[in-house]
């Protein structure tokens, strides 16, 4: 029986560069209040959100991804031709096939990389990062582009008082490449499918086959159930990621949780007992919940504003529809 030659990749992988794109239109809470009975104070107290970005017709999922990717590739100091894999996490690319990753790969000039989309909701960036790490270490690609991108304004019911103010649009991207040191830790990931109906699309696409529903599909959620799950269960997952990386919260420089809700973020910080020196991403205040894009967008802003620096140790955790989650410790590029 023939023996298969073992894979020969890099010893480890790291994040080499990061880029982000936020649509030009900034939408304050006052605009949301035109369609729901609420107040700016209520929205801020419940979510911490003051503004969000909504995409124009020209700011498509592909366009935003390309802009973020160009910045990430430049930040990594490589050329598009060196990209061997493109992974896009999104729930708001409405074309079932082909994957938007293939269009992005072509338009950035990446040649003929492996390219595919994944649907893992707000944990999608963590899923993509883990897959990219595996590709680099396994040797199937030298550099992998991981993109989280959403146009959630297309899936927002502006008359739903519970969710109308939550969602925003944008794209974040990172380049994952080879490393001689472990700079992306073990991933703690999983799902709790018995809770899948707590965050979901209101109407399945095939309902359109036999007559158009009154409303376009939108995202809906059971807010209190999601809040309790995120605060208590995801703090446990975050701790497991720290344990898997062999560090404690005292070793952290930065905490970048999914930007779902400021109350969730603050509660997780308290539950994890993070030291005061740890910088906490709170991008949700001005960007809203951008699902798969939220972690790379928050990472890019922390680095751009100097709140975090290259070489910092960061805990990242995403969680959302599914219910799915992914947490890992990384070294910032």
Measured at the alpha carbon of residue 241, what is the angle toward residues 292 and 200, in degrees to the nearest 5? 35
Q: Is 289 a catalytic residue?
A: yes
Residue with tokens 């990717």: 69
From 29, 122, 210, 261, active-site residue: 122
C-beta separation of 50 from 31 below 8 A: no
Question: Which one of 29, 53, 93, 258 is the catalytic residue?
Answer: 258
What is the distance between the alpha carbons of residues 160 and 30, in angstroms, rounded to a whole number? 15
Query: Which DSSP category does 4 fall into?
Result: P
122 assigned to active site:
yes
Question: CA-to-CA distance for 256 and 265, rounded, in angstroms?
Answer: 9
Could you tell me which of 278, 264, 204 has the C-alpha nearest to residue 48?
264
DSSP conformation letters of 200-230: EESS-GGGGGGS--SS---EEE-HHHHHHII
Which candidate in 29, 53, 93, 289 is catalytic?
A: 289
Residue partners of 222: CB distance under 8 A and separation at least 6: 197, 198, 199
Residue reference for tokens 């707000």 = 122
Q: Is 210 a catalytic residue?
A: no
Whether the CB-CB separation of 189 and 241 falls below 8 Å is answered with no
What stretch of H or E contains 13? Answer: strand 12-21
**Straight-line distance from the first to the last Cα atom of the chain, in angstroms, rounded to the nearest whole number:** 44
Catalytically annotated residues: 122, 258, 289
């Amino acid at each position: 029986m023939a023996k298969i030659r073992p894979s020969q990749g890099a010893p480890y992988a790291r994040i080499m560069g990061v880029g982000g794109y936020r649509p030009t239109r900034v939408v304050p809470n006052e605009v949301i209040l035109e369609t729901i009975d609420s107040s700016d104070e209520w929205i801020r107290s419940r979510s911490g959100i003051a503004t969000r970005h909504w995409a124009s017709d020209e700011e498509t999922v592909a366009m935003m991804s390309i802009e973020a990717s160009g910045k990430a590739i430049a930040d990594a100091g490589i050329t598009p031709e060196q990209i061997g894999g493109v992974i896009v996490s999104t729930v708001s690319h409405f074309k079932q096939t082909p994957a938007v990753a293939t269009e992005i790969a072509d338009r950035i000039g990446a040649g003929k990389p492996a390219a595919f989309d994944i649907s893992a909701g707000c944990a999608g960036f963590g899923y993509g990062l883990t897959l990219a790490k595996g590709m680099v270490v396994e040797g199937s690609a030298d550099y992998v582009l991981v993109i989280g991108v959403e146009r959630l304004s297309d899936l927002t019911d502006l008359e739903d008082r519970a969710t109308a103010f939550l969602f925003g649009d944008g794209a974040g991207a990172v380049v994952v490449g080879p490393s001689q040191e472990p700079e992306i830790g073990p991933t703690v990931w999983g799902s709790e499918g018995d809770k899948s109906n707590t965050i979901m699309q209101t109407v399945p696409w095939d309902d359109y086959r036999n007559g158009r529903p009154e409303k376009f599909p939108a995202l809906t959620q059971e807010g209190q159930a999601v809040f309790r799950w995120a605060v208590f269960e995801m703090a446990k997952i975050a701790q497991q990621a720290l344990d898997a990386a062999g560090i404690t919260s005292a070793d952290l420089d930065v905490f970048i949780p999914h930007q779902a809700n400021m109350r969730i973020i603050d509660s997780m910080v308290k539950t994890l007992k993070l030291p005061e020196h740890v910088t906490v991403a709170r991008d949700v205040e001005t960007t809203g919940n951008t699902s798969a894009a939220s972690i790379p967008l928050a990472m890019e802003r922390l680095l751009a504003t100097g709140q975090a620096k290259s070489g910092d140790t960061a805990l990242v955790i995403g969680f959302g529809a599914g219910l799915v989650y992914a947490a890992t410790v990384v070294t910032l590029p």
